[in-house]
């Protein structure tokens, strides 16, 4: 009876050790995914500001974004996810309207919802203006809790941005 008890204690110990390590890895991957999305927002924001001075109004095309990132000595690894045209396959996009650049990341699945809320929190932590970042709903932006952002920029998005950016997308206004 005692040997069986000792074996079961050892088995339970190793199971907890293995599952604890797996849970830790899942948590690390989650943080890494959030941070990567936030880092991409920061890179695209830097390039978007560069494009504001040299680009006409409207959609920021993949070619223009790649040139701006190259000029800033940044490597662009996810070119297929940039939205040249509004399609279901793309994730990222940018739009210039007036004196502002709108960078967005589409929300295409339930797992993206968690990812984008994490990125939203990371961007706020890194210094994004709380009245210039949010989730698109109709013609305005909402914060992570679903409250309407009341700044002048977020209150009424330009018509072109409303048409091009889908509801639920995380949008940063520069």
- Judge whether 66 and 76 are in contact, CB under 8 Å: yes
**Backbone conformation region of residue 153, classed left if phi is above 0, alpha if psi is from -120 to 50, else beta:** alpha
Q: How confident is the model at residue 45 (pLDDT cuts 50, 70, 90)?
A: confident
DSSP conformational letter for 151:
S
User: Would you kindly state where each structural domain of the chain is located, as residue ranges?
Assistant: 2-173
Run of H or E including 38: helix 2-54
In this prediction, residue 28 carries a pLDDT of 55
In this prediction, residue 30 carries a pLDDT of 56
**Can you spell out the DSSP letters for 52-63?**
HHH--SEE--HH
In this prediction, residue 44 carries a pLDDT of 84
- For 51-55, what is the mean pLDDT? 76
In this prediction, residue 89 carries a pLDDT of 72
pTM: 0.73
2-173 folds as Beta-Lactamase (3.30.450)
Residue 41 has pLDDT above 60, yes or no: yes
- Judge whether 157 and 103 are in contact, CB under 8 Å: no
- Judge whether 38 and 133 are in contact, CB under 8 Å: no
In this prediction, residue 27 carries a pLDDT of 63
The three-state secondary structure class of 156 is: coil
């Amino acid at each position: 009876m005692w040997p069986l008890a000792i074996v079961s204690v050892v088995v339970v110990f190793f199971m907890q050790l293995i599952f604890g390590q797996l849970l830790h890895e899942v948590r690390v991957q989650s943080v890494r995914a959030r941070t990567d999305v936030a880092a991409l927002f920061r890179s695209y924001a830097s390039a978007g500001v560069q494009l504001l001075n040299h680009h006409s109004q409207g959609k920021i095309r993949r070619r223009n974004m790649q040139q701006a990132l190259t000029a800033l000595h940044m490597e662009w690894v996810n070119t297929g996810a940039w939205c040249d045209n509004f399609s279901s396959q793309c994730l990222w996009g940018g739009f210039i309207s007036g004196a502002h650049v709108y960078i967005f990341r589409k929300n295409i699945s339930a797992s993206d919802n968690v990812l984008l809320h994490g990125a939203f929190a990371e961007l706020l932590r890194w210094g994004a203006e709380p009245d210039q970042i949010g989730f698109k709903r109709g013609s305005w932006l909402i914060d992570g809790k679903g409250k309407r952002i009341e700044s002048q920029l977020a209150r009424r998005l330009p018509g072109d941005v409303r048409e091009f950016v889908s509801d639920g997308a995380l949008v940063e206004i520069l």
